[in-house]
Amino acid sequence: MGHVFVFKLPDVGYQTPFDSFSVDAQGKFYAWELKQTTTESLPFISVVPHQITALEIVKGSVVIRYPQFFCLIPIDIFIQESKRSKRRSLTSERAKEIATLVVKI
């Protein structure tokens, strides 16, 4: 994959590790949409249509901070889950199951 160069925005608390765009050695860009919840679920509607569209274009991910962990979920998986789920929100347990990365905090 080569090296990854990260361009971070000014420090805004927990966002610093994720609130960035990255580009790898081949020039591919990566983007994240950050969401946070103080409960054990996040409403799917928290990621609004224009954010979904932008993430689909660059094949980005949604990063969700739950009380005990962060998780990274590719946008295509997030969309699929929102359409298939009988719930209107993504629980922390289900997020762990579909995430490509989980970081305990």
pLDDT digits (tens, 9 = 90+) for 63-87: 999 999 999 999 999 999 999 999 9
pTM above 0.85, yes or no: no
Q: pLDDT grade, residue 3 (50/70/90)? A: very low
pLDDT tens, residue by residue, 21-76: 555 556 666 788 899 999 999 999 999 999 999 899 888 999 999 999 999 999 99
- Which residues share a beta bridge with 34? 63
What would the two tokens of residue 23 be?
A: 């580009």
Please tell me the predicted confidence (pLDDT) of residue 19: 45
Burial class (CB in 10 A: 0-12, 13-18, 19+), 10: exposed
- Which residues share a beta bridge with 91? 41
**For the chain, which domains are there?**
32-104 (3.40.1350.10)
Checking if the pLDDT of 12 tops 80, the result is no
